[in-house]
Every structure is written in C-alpha cells, then in structure tokens.
C-alpha cells in the first residue's frame, strides 16, 4: 500500500485523533457504565459498525487524495458525521447524570452539518473530476477500471485496447469511415535500457506516452501495448487523415528530447511505425497481426536505409 498521500495529511489525522480523544475523555468521565445486562448488543454492533466504517472512509480518502479544498471538505464532513456516530455508540454503554444529559441530547446535532459539508465536498469533487476526465480522455475512452491501465505509462492496457477494437469492429457498419490503428515502437529500446538503466527506460516510456497523448485527437485512444510498443486507435477516421496523424506523431516523438533525471543526458529516439485500416472482414487478432507485420517492414526499411547511409 502506497502511503505517500497519507503522509501529507498529518495535520488532519492529528485533528481527528484530538477530536476522538476529547469525545472519549468527556463521555467516559461524565458517564456511568450501564451494566452488562442493560446493553443492547444489536445496537452496539450496528452503531459500532457505522462508526468504524466512517473512520475507514476517512482513511481511504486521505490515502487516495492530495492536499486541497476537496480533501479538506470531505474530511471535515466525514469527521463531523463520525463525531455524532461516536457519541451515539458510547451512549450504548453509559448513562449520564441529569447535569450532563446534554451529552446525550447533542449527539445527533453534528451529523446534518457533516452531511451538508459532504454534499458541498461532493459537488466540488464532481467539478474536479470533470477536469481530470478531460485530461484522461485519451487514456480511458468510456470506461474506468484501474486494472485495465498500465502502471508505468498511465495509459490504457493492451487488454483494454483489444476490448475497444472489438467494440469498434462491431460498430464498423455504423461509421462512415471505419477506424484505423497506429503502432509505434521505440527503436533500440533494449540498448537504451542497458546503457542508462531501467529507471531511465521507465521515464522514457512515460514521456513518450505523454507526447503521443498530446498529439492525438479527443476521440482517439492510446495504449501501451507491450514493452516499448504503443497503439493508437483512431475511430471513424479516413485513411488519409490516419496517415497524416501517424506522420505527425512520429515527427513529434523523434523531435522530442529526453532529459535524464540528473540532467546530464539529452537523447533523441528513432521510432518505427505502422498503420492499418479496419474492414468488416477483420478480427481483432488479425488487425494486431497486420500491425506487427507493418512494423517489422518499417524496421527493416529503417535498417536498410541506415546501412545505405553508413
Ligand atoms: N525500462 C523498462 N524496460 C522494459 C519494460 N518492459 C520491457 N522492457 C524492455 O524493453 C526492451 C525491449 O526490447 P526489444 O523488444 O528488443 O526492442 P528494441 O530494443 O527496441 O528493438 P527494436 O524495436 O528492434 O529496435 C527489453 O530490454 C525489455 O527488457 C518496462 O516496463 N520498463
């Protein structure tokens, strides 16, 4: 479990711990134990469960989110709701004297305020998510499932791309222009890895993913298909437009200068590319195999022209 975000929220965790300690100190010092026979264990299980669940939600929110207004609002809403629930839970075990009966009376007051804050937080979360969705549109298309994205590049995975190719093949007769697939492969990536190390190789993959994403259109889908190989799906696209896009992505990738982490190295990579346009007789595996064959041809062409210039 990655705790990086949780460590950013030490102050919020401190506030939560202080709040819970104050509530426990106040209620346990003023309350008198009801006695085993007067406790309704069904209520204890229900209210205890709700209290623990809200703490768990707070934990996962702090674990998953960076600092910011939405995180603060979500935390405040849930923490205030948790205050009501904790008071309600402790109420199952203790009675208060008349003078301290207010402790029992106020238990339900924080919850609605917490819910109002949570509603405001969810509205802002929605706004935030809309802008994140815009940034992710070439990586997700219609579906979000973290197991279908590639951990290194953040792009869609090969499995997700295959499912989307399948989908487009089923819709092929509804689209005017059909769809095309582009494949890009970094030349001599193995040599790059051996020369500069795997961590720099990962960084190059991430940066290539960003360059490709920046150079496609809103409706296109980009995936990291295998080690140094990327596929872009161009739905409802004429072949001539696909060819133009392929050329401009190759140009952008080859113009891109990689800077090593310690800034001692600037490096430009050559790229192999291939393109296929889908027809109604194609299958997903058939299209992928055509893409591979096109890529191999392109590699041999590059090798041949390199030999000629050498
Ligand atoms: N850094 C890094 N390297 C990876 C990853 N996955 C695969 N690789 C490496 O990518 C390299 C791919 O090598 P090849 O398939 O021979 O590709 P290439 O060296 O570009 O060869 P050509 O395409 O023929 O020029 C191998 O060294 C793999 O170990 C990864 O996630 N990160």
Whether residues 189 and 224 share a domain: the answer is yes
How far apart are the CA of 191 and the centre of ligand 1, in A?
8
Number of structural domains the chain divides into: 2
Whether residues 179 and 277 share a domain: the answer is yes
Q: Is the CB of 209 under 6 A from ligand 1?
A: no
Whether residues 259 and 113 share a domain: the answer is no
Whether residues 92 and 10 share a domain: the answer is yes
Q: When comparing pLDDT for 287 and 137, which is higher?
A: 287
Query: Would you say 153 and 201 are in contact if contact means Cβ atoms under 8 Å apart?
Result: no
Q: What is the pLDDT of residues 250-285, one digit of tens each?
A: 999 999 998 887 777 788 889 999 999 998 889 999
Quote the distance between the C-alpha of residue 306 and its chain's center.
Answer: 41
Whether residues 29 and 169 share a domain: the answer is no
Query: How far, CA to CA in Å, does 232 sit from each of 51, 126, 245, 253, 259?
Result: 47, 29, 10, 14, 25
Q: What are the two backbone dihedrals, phi and then psi, of residue 99, each rounded to the nearest 5 degrees? A: -65, -30
- Longest Cα–Cα distance of the chain, Å, equals 98
Whether residues 222 and 102 share a domain: the answer is no
User: How far apart are alpha carbons 231 and 223 in whole angstroms?
Assistant: 5
Whether residues 281 and 248 share a domain: the answer is yes
Domain final residue, candidates 140, 160, 179: 140
User: How far apart are alpha carbons 154 and 174 in whole angstroms?
Assistant: 31
Whether residues 50 and 157 share a domain: the answer is no
Whether residues 219 and 240 share a domain: the answer is yes
Whether residues 135 and 181 share a domain: the answer is no
The pLDDT, as a whole number, for residue 283 is 93
Q: What is the pLDDT of residues 212-252, one digit of tens each?
A: 999 999 889 999 999 999 999 999 898 999 999 999 999 99
Domain final residue, candidates 140, 162, 179: 140
**ipTM of the prediction:** 0.93
- CATH code of residue 166: 3.30.70.270
Query: Would you say 208 and 257 are in contact if contact means Cβ atoms under 8 Å apart?
Result: no
Does residue 147 have a pLDDT over 70?
no
Query: Would you say 48 and 89 are in contact if contact means Cβ atoms under 8 Å apart?
Result: yes
Does residue 17 have a pLDDT over 70?
yes
User: How far apart are alpha carbons 41 and 44 in whole angstroms?
Assistant: 5
Whether residues 211 and 131 share a domain: the answer is no
Mean pLDDT, residues 154-160 taken together:
89
User: How far apart are alpha carbons 64 and 74 in whole angstroms?
Assistant: 12
pTM metric for this prediction: 0.69
Q: What is the pLDDT of residues 89-108, one digit of tens each?
A: 999 999 888 888 887 788 88
How far apart are the CA of 282 and the centre of ligand 1, in A?
29
Whether residues 8 and 119 share a domain: the answer is yes
Of the candidates 144, 19, 150, 40, the residue with the CA atom closest to the CA atom of residue 89: 40
Atom of ligand 1 nearest to the CA of 186: 20
Q: What is the pLDDT of residues 19-47, one digit of tens each?
A: 999 999 999 899 899 898 899 999 999 99
Of 201, 226, 254, 299, the one to substitute when testing ligand 1's pocket (max ligand atoms within 8 A of C-beta) is 201
How far apart are the CA of 172 and the centre of ligand 1, in A?
33
**In the block, residue with structure tokens 């009675």:** 95
Q: Is the CB of 186 under 6 A from ligand 1?
A: yes
Mean pLDDT, residues 167-187 taken together:
88
Domain final residue, candidates 75, 105, 140: 140
Of 190, 196, 199, 258, the one to substitute when testing ligand 1's pocket (max ligand atoms within 8 A of C-beta) is 190
Q: SS3 letters for the chain?
A: CCCHHHHHCHHHHHHHHHHHHHHHHHHHHHEEECCHHHCCHHHHHHHHHHHHHHHHHHHHHHHHCCCCHHHHHHHHHHHHHHHHHHHHHHHCCEEECHHHCHHHHHHHCHHHHHHHHHHHHHHHHHHHHHHHHHHHHHHHCCCCCHHHECCCCCCECHHHHHHHHHHHHHCHHHCCCCCEEEEEEECCHHHHHHHHCHHHHHHHHHHHHHHHHHCCCCCCEEEEEECCEEEEEECCCCHHHHHHHHHHHHHHHHHCEEECCCCCCEEECCEEEEEEECCCCCCHHHHHHHHHHHHHHHHHHHHHHHHHHC
The pLDDT, as a whole number, for residue 142 is 66
Q: Give the domain range for residue 91.
A: 4-140
Q: Is the CB of 227 under 6 A from ligand 1?
A: yes
């Amino acid at each position: 479990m990655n705790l990086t975000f949780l460590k950013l929220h030490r102050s919020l965790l401190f506030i939560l711990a202080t709040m819970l300690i104050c509530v426990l100190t106040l209620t346990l010092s003023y309350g008198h134990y009801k006695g085993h026979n007067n406790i309704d264990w069904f209520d204890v299980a229900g209210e205890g469960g709700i209290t623990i669940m809200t703490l768990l939600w707070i934990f996962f929110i702090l674990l998953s989110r960076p600092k910011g207004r939405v995180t603060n609002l979500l935390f405040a809403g849930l923490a205030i709701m948790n205050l009501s629930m904790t008071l309600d839970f402790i109420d199952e075990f203790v009675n208060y004297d008349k003078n301290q009966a207010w402790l029992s009376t106020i238990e339900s007051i924080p919850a609605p305020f917490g819910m109002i804050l949570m509603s405001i937080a969810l509205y802002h979360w929605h706004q935030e998510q809309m802008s994140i969705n815009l940034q992710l549109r070439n990586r997700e298309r219609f579906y979000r499932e973290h197991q279908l994205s590639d951990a290194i590049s953040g792009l869609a995975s090969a499995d997700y791309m295959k499912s989307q190719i399948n989908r487009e093949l089923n819709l092929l007769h509804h689209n005017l222009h059909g769809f095309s697939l582009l494949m890009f492969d970094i030349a001599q990536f193995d040599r790059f890895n051996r020369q500069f190390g795997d961590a720099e190789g990962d960084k190059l993959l991430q940066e290539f993913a960003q360059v490709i994403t920046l150079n496609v259109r809103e409706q296109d889908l980009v995936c990291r298909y295998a080690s140094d190989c990327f596929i872009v799906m161009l739905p409802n696209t004429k072949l001539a437009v696909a060819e133009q896009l392929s050329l401009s992505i190759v140009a952008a990738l080859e113009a891109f200068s990689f800077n090593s982490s310690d800034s001692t190295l600037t490096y430009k990579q050559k790229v192999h590319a291939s393109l296929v346009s889908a027809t109604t007789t194609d299958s997903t595996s058939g299209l992928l195999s055509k893409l591979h064959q096109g890529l191999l041809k392109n590699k041999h062409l590059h090798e041949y022209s390199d030999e000629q210039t050498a």
